[in-house]
Amino acid sequence: MTVQASSFLLCSLIAAAASTVALGIVAVIQADVSSGETATQGQQPVAPSYIPLIMTASIFVVSWIAVTLAFFRDQMLHRVTVIQANVAAVAAAQSDIRSDFAALRAELAEYAEQRETEGFLNGRRSGTNSGTSENREVRPLRRVRPLD
């Protein structure tokens, strides 16, 4: 299996790698912020904001989906290109076969013409060699029905 590396796939991979690193950094920072806060002088602790973590995670998911789609798109384009090459090869083979058949038809037509000419000449020779001109008879090729 070959991997076709298009610019879309490479950019998606770079974005996915960057979003993976960013997600790791944001997750570590978020864990430090949420565990390091303590309540001072009777105040309630401030709830940590998960918005940066959620946004980074969503970018992470979207970028890896883009990598997957780019990979499958490139594979389909590669297979379509292979199929088109095969179709072109078959079409070229068909045109070769057609030209071979045309050459064969021409040879058969020439052979048939030759045989017809030889038959005519043999008939003429046998007619002239069979005797004198008074004894010559015309022999029909097919049986002729008598006229009623």
Please state the separation of Cα 59 from the chain's center in Å. 35
Per-block average pLDDT, block size 10, for the chain (148 residues)? 79 94 92 64 70 93 95 91 90 87 89 84 71 57 69
39 found inside a domain: no
For position 140, what pLDDT does the model report? 60
Give the H or E element holding residue 70. helix 51-129
Number of domains in the chain: 1
Is 45 inside a domain boundary? no
25/34 Cα distance (integer angstroms): 14
CB contact at 8 A, 70 and 16: no
Instruction: Say which DSSP state 143 is in.
Output: P
Instruction: Give a yes or no: residue 134 inside a domain.
Output: no
Q: Is 40 within a domain?
A: no
Instruction: Flag whether 38 is in a domain.
Output: no
Positive or negative, the CA dihedral 119, 121, 125, 127 is positive
Domain that holds residue 66: 7-33+50-127
* Beta carbons within 8 Å of 136's beta carbon, 6+ residues apart: 127, 130
d(CA 69, CA 79): 15
pTM of whole model > 0.85?
no
Say which residues have a Cβ less than 8 Å from residue 34's Cβ, sequence separation at least 6: 48
Q: What pLDDT score does 94 carry?
A: 87
Residue 98: the pLDDT is 87
